[in-house]
Amino acid sequence: MTSRYIANTSAEQRDMLRTIGAASIEDLLVRIPPKARLSRPLALAPALAEADLIRHLRALAARNADADRYACFQGGGSYDHYVPSPINHLISRGEFFTAYTPYQPEASQGTLRTIYEYQTMIAELTGMDVANASIYDGASSLAEAALMAHAVTERTEVVLARGVHPLYRRVTATYCDGPAIRLRDVPAPEGVLDVEAATKLIGKKTAALVVQSPNFYGCLEDVAAAAEIAHAAGALLIVVADPVNLGVLEAPGRLGADIVVGEGQGLGVPMSFGGPNLGVFAAKNELVRRMPGRLVGATVDRDGQRGFVLTLQTREQHIRRAKATSNICTNVALCALMATIYMATLGKQGLQRVGELSAAKAHYAAEQLTKVPGVSLRFASPFFKEFTLRLPKSPTTVVGKLARKRILPGVPLRTYDRALADCLLVAVTEQRTREEIDAYAAALAEVLK
Amino acid sequence: MSAYDKLVFELSSPGRIGFSLPESDVPGRPLADVLPKKFLRGAAPALPEVSEFDVVRHYSRLSRMNYGVDTHFYPLGSCTMKYNPKINEDMARVPGFARLHPLTRPEDAQGALQLMHELAQMLAEIAGMDAVSLQPAAGAQGEFAGVLMIRAYHASRSEKRTKVLIPDSAHGTNPASTAIAGYEVVEVKSLPNGEVDLEALAREVGPDVAAFMITVPNTLGMFEPRIMEITEICHAKGVQVYMDGANLNAILGITRPGDLGFDVCHFNLHKTFTTPHGGGGPGAGPVGIKAHLEPFLPTPVVVKNGDAYALDDKRPKSIGKLQAFWGNFGMLVRAYTYIRTMGADGLRSVSDNAVLNANYIMKRLEADYDVSVPGPCMHECVLSARRQKKQGVTATDIAKRLLDLGFYAPSTYFPLIVEEALMIEPTETESKETLDAFCDAMIQIAREAQENPAIATAAPVTTPVRRLDQTRAAREPNLTWSPKR
């Protein structure tokens, strides 16, 4: 059977074979030894016509509790933020969507310019000198930052605050296994970095201290204090930050961060069950030649006209092979484009509004939810758009019961920290309405009765 | 192509807005009263201030400074720049997929998990593997995961193996991923025709070698005729064999990595399985393995218990996690849609036509360019511009001249073992007319090289910018815009 994605007709195939001087396509496969050949068709479900396939996939999608049909109070590294309409239209232009990595810069100025804009805006938000063109996600960005700190300092340990996202810590552990970098945890009994414990752990072997702010529990960390203890020991400070918050929260670079990484999904990228995401990676100037990933720089063409190219490529795998700063090749350029258009559209005022609205609604939600008997905030530290609730009943049970009311009330923390088995992590973005928050509080009161 | 020289910052006008956000509907105090000052930004971020229409026109105009597969033939070898079906995009944007939060409990994400479970099974069948992890975000991360599983496997048998063998024709990610996984990379010289030197390999494989990593078909577009001997030689010495699946588009339904003896192979969904390249990602790099490596799969694994799907995270021997969540799900929806569109016969016809198209190009160009290895080739062919170089026209010049003639360029200077390499992969989705137009352009360039090399060395002249000063970009890095510049 012919496929709508293949143009060659049988007549054209015969014509081409005649030019080649082969009797059949089989003749072109002679190098594959007969015993290596698959002697049967692949055992796959039969092909579906477009309309049937759409029906099938819509039926699968209908079995998922998505944020269009449910009020989503889930966070923990992926957030339901506002996505301005132009983003999808613009990224869907085939010239962006179906282009390759801009290795031929003269025919890729569109992509190169958007990456240069992206680097500029991320550097501005994080308060760093340079940002790369992206890593896969926040977790792999942190892992790359740990490897980079190890390479820069030639030290063998990385100290992580317990408030760093537990799944990011696990990804970092995967990446640090090969070079045998030892990861050490600093407890956070009050939801934030225990500075005294951190000071004791950090020493001459420490390549970097990692803090996340707001951290996994929603609490804001004292980044400046963390910078002080890291730098006193000659270690780098890596800060994990969500750039969508940085319209109102202080830029980590101004608080002493040497490397800022984070998940940029909130900048106009759909949640999409956790991927593709947007790994943000920014650093100080002096670290640029050790950075992983692609970088775009401005230059001029033969006629002296401004143009953009991939630059400092001698760091990268296609040039340096085993000695590259990272193995990354394909990154998430299109997600970076979504974020670029998002940051341009929201602009100076919009990103502030997103931050203010999210924080206001989160604080209102915390007030309403903690009015429910038996419900309290687990930590006293200041929070931004996410907070940890302690519940009098199993959070997992509560999540199941509220799902029936089309509310996704948050993420139970039991799987991440046994000591927080009675806790639920709740995120509130600018997308949630007062009505939804009130309905959540009422439903919670009902199931806890 | 349209010339346009603005950056979004240069369109900014104080006070202009492009967003629509509601007034707050909750009572509350200003943020400065809620949070201590030390947490708050001193000054608003210097982001652009533009209208929605400014944004739309700016990025529309920038897009027109790009060549994409939708607009231009993209014969970029090893990248499989095939047509990206539009239905894939519609399906990835269905709210039940696009607006699903990753930490939704499995009971409320059954459709997503079912899709992942079925896709993993389909990929396993296509590659002849026993299990597939969908978690790696791109090919390089798939390689990294595969090498880590091999490492964990040897460790579980208390074997200390420290080296990984990689041919000199390999993609750069192979040695880079292997090095990050903690191995010493040993480069194995290929025969002049790009094939593995079996004698050299037999000398190198030993008790200190963990794995041999090889691309099939190789980066010269040739199938290794002795591949089964190669995997046997390796296995006899306890060496695991990894297949870089970048070139899988050549062999769908014809032969399977698992049947060839491979223990691990990764898939590039953005190559073979039509997810878009997006200007450099996102991709997806699932990794397939044989049963003996199953305990080491990245966590979590999507499992089916009766009729219900779940994420199994309790796997003590696992190599761990590679990204925060479960994989590049949006790309998985696209690849699933594609495979269900094509079926077994459709996929077989993909490879048949990819091979036919590549051989057709090689035949049509063999008189004007040197062929690196005599055909037939698989899905791509590697030509050398060494003849043209003597006339003063390099592979780069040919690439740039092609841009003027309305084509993107082949991969150049790769594989490294071919002088002035031009690596051409047409894919199955291009028509004979397009292939003919491309070949005509290549032949024209070869003639121009003889008669007037300056045409190619001056190219491109039709693009928004001409050749760019790479040295200056690297010597004086200018990586962010500032109003002063």
- Residue B193's pLDDT is 86
Host domain of residue A207: 86-341
Nearest neighbour of B279 by CB, restricted to A15, A99, A147: A99
Let me know whether A319 and A408 are in one domain: no
Q: Is A319 exposed, middle or buried (0-12, 13-18, 19+ CB in 10 A)?
A: exposed
pTM over the 0.95 mark: yes
Single residue among A341, A359, A379 that ends a domain in this structure: A341
- Contacts B31 to A, Cβ<8 Å: 248, 355-356, 359-360
Binary contact (A138, B96; C-beta < 8 A): no
Check residue A2 and give its pLDDT: 77
Residues A90, A77 within the same domain: no
Inspect the interface and report whether the beta carbons of B277 and A100 lie closer than 8 Å: yes
Cβ pair B321:A171 closer than 8 A: yes
CA angle (B340, B345, B348) in 5-degree steps: 105
Q: Write out B33-92 in H/E/C secondary structure.
A: HHCCHHHECCCCCCCCCCCHHHHHHHHHHHHCCECCCCCCECCECCCCCCCCCHHHHHHH
Q: What is the CATH number of domain B87-341?
A: 3.40.640.10
Contacts of A30 in chain B (CB under 8 A): 376
Q: Cα-Cα-Cα-Cα dihedral of A162, A166, A170, A173, to 10°?
A: -20
- What is the mean pLDDT of the segment spanning A362-375? 98
Distance from CA of B463 to the nearest CA of A (A): 6
Q: Name every chain A residue with its beta carbon within 8 A of the beta carbon of B34.
A: 359, 363, 382
CB–CB contact A31 B409 (8 Å): no
State whether A327 and B173 contact (CB < 8 Å). yes
Q: What pLDDT band is residue B303 in, cutting at 50, 70 and 90?
A: very high
- Are residues A282 and A358 both part of a single domain? no
Residues A387, A327 within the same domain: no
Q: Name the residue among A44, A74, A307 with its Cβ closest to that of B468.
A: A307
Query: Is A98 in the same domain as A231?
Result: yes
- Place A314 in a pLDDT band, splitting at 50, 70 and 90: confident
Whether pLDDT at B428 is above 60: yes
Considering the domain boundaries, does residue A163 fall inside one?
A: yes
**Domain endpoint, select from A322, A341, A360:** A341
Are B19 and A382 inside 8 Å of each other by CB? Answer: no
Asked if the structure places residue A162 within a domain, the reply is: yes
Does the beta carbon of B210 lie under 8 angstroms from any beta carbon of chain A? Answer: no
Rounded alpha-carbon distances, angstroms, from residue B299 to A143, B366, B428: 16, 49, 35
- Which 3-state string (H, E, C) describes chain A? CCCCCCCCCHHHHHHHHHHHCCCCHHHHHCCCCHHHECCCCCCCCCCCCHHHHHHHHHHHHCCECCCCCCEECCCCCCCCCCCCCHHHHHHCCHHHHCCCCCCCHHHEHHHHHHHHHHHHHHHHHHCCCEECCCECCHHHHHHHHHHHHHHHHCCCEEEEECCCCHHHHHHHHHHHHCCCCEEEEECCCCCCCCHHHHHHHCCCCEEEEEEECCCCCCECCCHHHHHHHHHHCCCEEEEECCHHHHHCECCHHHHCCCEEEEECCCCCCCCHHHCCCCEEEEECHHHHHHCCCCCEEEEEECCCCEEEEECCHHHCHHHHHHHCCCCCCCCCHHHHHHHHHHHHHHHHHHHHHHHHHHHHHHHHHHHHHCCCCCCEECCCCCECCEEEEECCCCHHHHHHHHHCCCEECCEECCCCCHHHCCEEEEECCCCCCHHHHHHHHHHHHHHHC
Query: Residue A257 is encoded by which pair of tokens?
Result: 């961060």
Q: Give chain B positions within 8 Å (CB) of A318.
A: 171-173, 414
Residue appearing with tokens 């009729």: B307
- Say if B280 is an interface residue toward chain A (CB within 8 Å): yes
pLDDT at B2: 55
Q: How many residues does chain A have?
A: 449
CA of residue A80 relative to chain centroid, distance = 13
Instruction: State the pLDDT at residue B485.
Output: 56
Helix (H) or strand (E) segment spanning residue B412: strand B411-412
Helix/strand/coil for B437: helix
**B432–chain A Cβ distance below 8 A for any pair:** yes
The pLDDT assigned to A279 comes to 98
Of B21, B49, B319, the CB nearest to A354: B21
CA distances from B363 to A18, B249, B383, B446, B448 (A): 11, 20, 11, 15, 20
- Each residue of B317-351: pLDDT tens digit? 999 999 999 999 999 999 999 999 999 999 999 99
- Within 8 A of A86 by CB-CB distance, chain B residues are 52, 55-56, 59
Give the confidence band of A318 by pLDDT, cuts at 50, 70, 90. confident
Asked whether residue B297 carries a pLDDT value surpassing 80, the answer given is yes
Asked if residue A258 and residue A241 are part of one domain, the reply reads yes
Closest A-chain CA to B415: A318
pLDDT interval class at A316 (50, 70, 90): confident
Q: Which residues are CB-contacts of A449 (< 8 A; sequence separation ≥ 6)?
A: none
Alpha helices in B366-412 (DSSP H): 386-390, 395-404
How far apart CA B217 and CA B200 sit, in angstroms, is 20
Give me the mean pLDDT over the A58-72 stretch: 98
Domain spans of chain B?
8-63, 87-341, 352-470
Residue at A17 is within a domain: no
A355 neighbors A247 (Cβ within 8 angstroms): yes
Q: How confident is residue B302, by pLDDT bands cut at 50, 70 and 90?
A: very high
**Residues of A393-419 as b/e, b for ≥16 C-beta within 10 angstroms?**
eebeebbebbbebebbbbbbbbebeee
Whole-angstrom distance, CA of residue A252 vs CA of residue A282: 10
Instruction: Decide the pairing of beta strands B209-215 and B370-371.
Output: unpaired
Distance of alpha carbon B111 from alpha carbon A275, whole angstroms: 16
Domain co-membership, A392 together with A294: no
B385 Cβ under 8 Å from any chain A Cβ: no
| Whether B248 contacts chain A with CB within 8 A | no
* C-alpha to C-alpha distance for B75 and A80, rounded to whole angstroms: 39
Domain boundary among A321, A341, A361: A341
Q: Which residues from chain A sit within 8 angstroms of residue B67, using beta carbons? A: 95, 99, 104, 107-108
Does one domain contain both A166 and A248? yes
> What is the distance in angstroms between the Cα of A312 and the nearest Cα belonging to chain B?
5
How far, in Å, CA of B140 to CA of A443, rounded? 46
Mean per-residue pLDDT for B367-386?
Answer: 96
A347-356 residue pLDDT tens: 999 999 999 9
**Which residues are within 8 A (CB) of A266 and not within 5 positions of it... i.e. 6 or more apart?**
A79, A81, A242, A243, A244, A245, A429
Q: For the domain B352-470, what is the CATH code?
A: 3.90.1150.10
- The number of folded domains in chain A is 2
Find where tokens 């996505």 sit: A83
Q: Which helix (H) or strand (E) holds B393?
A: none
First to last CA, chain A: 62
Residue A114 with chain B: CB contacts under 8 Å: 59, 62, 279
Instruction: Kindly list the residues from chain A whose CB atom is less than 8 angstroms away from the CB atom of residue B9.
Output: 117, 120
Q: How far apart are CA A418 and CA A205, in angstroms?
A: 30
B52–A contact, CB cutoff 8 A: yes
Interchain pair B320, A123: CB under 8 A: no
Task: Select from B42, B111, B363 the Cβ nearest to the Cβ of A63.
Answer: B111
pLDDT at residue B192, rounded to an integer: 86
Which token pair is A425?
A: 């992590």
**Tokens coding A422:** 């009675």
Place of tokens 């997308």: A431
> What number is the average pLDDT over the span A220-232?
98
Q: Contact, B412 vs B381, CB < 8 A?
A: no
Point out the residue among A30, A38, A323 whose CB comes nearest to the CB of B255.
A38
Decide if pLDDT at A181 tops 90.
yes
Return the residue in B1, B35, B47, B338 with the most chain A beta carbons within 10 A, the one to mutate for interface testing.
Answer: B47
Instruction: Check CB contact under 8 Å for A116 and B7.
Output: yes
Asked if B179 is an interface residue toward chain A (Cβ–Cβ < 8 A), one would say yes
Between chains, do A354 and B428 touch, taking CB under 8 Å as contact?
no
Longest dimension (CA), chain A: 83
Contact A38 B223 (CB under 8 A): no
Distance to chain A for B20, nearest Cα, Å: 8
Q: What is the pLDDT of residues A131-164, one digit of tens each?
A: 999 999 999 999 999 999 999 999 999 999 999 9
Whether ipTM > 0.90 holds is yes
Residue B419 is predicted with a pLDDT of 96
pLDDT tens track for B164-178:
999 999 999 999 999
CATH classification at residue A312: 3.40.640.10
Q: What is the pLDDT of residues B137-157, one digit of tens each?
A: 999 999 999 999 999 999 999
Contacts 24+ apart (CB under 8 A), A282-285: A282/A122, A282/A123, A282/A126, A282/A128, A282/A129, A282/A130, A282/A131, A282/A132, A282/A253, A283/A128, A283/A129, A283/A130, A283/A131, A283/A148, A283/A258, A283/A259, A284/A128, A284/A129, A284/A130, A284/A253, A284/A258, A284/A259, A285/A129, A285/A130
Flag if B180 and A178 touch (Cβ within 8 Å): yes
Residues of chain A contacting B57 with CB distance shorter than 8 Å: none
Instruction: Tell me how close the Cα of A448 comes to any Cα of chain B, in angstroms.
Output: 20
Spatial distance between the Cα atoms of B322 and B336, rounded to a whole number of angstroms: 21
Helix and strand totals (H; E) in chain B: 16, 13
Q: Give the C-alpha separation, A261 to A277, whole Å.
A: 13
Predicted pLDDT of residue A320:
87
- CATH code of the domain containing A353: 3.90.1150.10
Contact A167 B324 (CB under 8 A): yes
The phi, psi pair for B56, rounded to 5°, reads -65, -45
Whether B253 sits inside 8 A of A220 (CB atoms) is no
Using CA of residue B251, residue B255, residue B256, residue B257, what is the dihedral sign? negative
pLDDT in tens, B244-276: 999 999 999 999 999 999 999 999 999 999 999
In a domain, A34, yes or no: no
